[in-house]
Amino acid sequence: MEEDEIKMKYERMKSYFITEQAIQKLAANGIWRELINALSESDYNFLGQNVIKFCPLYSPASHAKINHQIPAHSHLVIFDVNALCKRPPRQAVAILLHELGHIAHPSEGEFGADRFASERGFALDLISDLEEQIRENPKEFNVPLNLKRVEALKKIGDADPSNP
Ligand SMILES: [Zn+2]
């Protein structure tokens, strides 16, 4: 990818974070670069047009000083920075893409959200994450819906054949 394009994506993504405090940590864990590269030009326009902002949180509770105007009906993608940083970068990004999918396909539930991630080449990463969660947190995750999600993701796979 062209250096200019990376810089443009970097600046645009930064503008979609309501606070910059998490960016450094995401970058140190390889998540930031994976995220800015996962989205196409039209995805960036989608973020801008729908006023979608990323709002990092640090579990169990944290505060964020917001340096943006957040108009009514904006969408916030709220995520636990530490939980994401425990994961391989692509798995972390798959989770964020899934959340964007809820905004892109509001009437399609989990399957529409998963499809958004798979269309960007992250089906396998989402499957890995779901399977890990089902194994490690069965009480919360070993439910019919999640098993169906894994099945559906395996069926549709990645839209991008260059994804390893
Ligand atoms: Zn969901």
CA of 110 to the centre of ligand 1 (A): 5
CA of 113 to the centre of ligand 1 (A): 6
Q: List, as ranges, residues with CB under 5 A of the ion ligand 1.
A: 110, 113
What is the mean predicted confidence (pLDDT) over 97-115?
Answer: 97
Please, which residues bridge with residue 53 across strands?
76
CA of 123 to the centre of ligand 1 (A): 14
* pLDDT score, position 69: 84
Report the mean per-residue pLDDT for the chain: 93
Give the residue among 111, 72, 117 at the shortest CA–CA distance from 97.
117
* pLDDT score, position 163: 46
Query: Is a pLDDT exceeding 70 seen at residue 162?
Result: no
Query: Is a pLDDT exceeding 60 seen at residue 160?
Result: no
Rounded to two decimals, the pTM is: 0.92
Give Cα 122 to chain centroid, integer Å: 10
| Two tokens, residue 29 | 């864990």
d(CA 88, CA 90): 6
Please, which residues bridge with residue 77 across strands?
54
Q: Are 92 and 140 in contact (CB under 8 A)?
A: no
pLDDT more than 70, % of the chain: 95
| Two tokens, residue 51 | 């006023």
Q: Hunting for tokens 């989205």 — which residue is that?
A: 39
CA of 3 to the centre of ligand 1 (A): 33
pLDDT of 27-75, one tens digit each?
Answer: 999 999 999 999 999 999 999 999 999 999 999 999 888 877 889 999 9
d(CA 114, CA 123): 8
* pLDDT score, position 67: 77
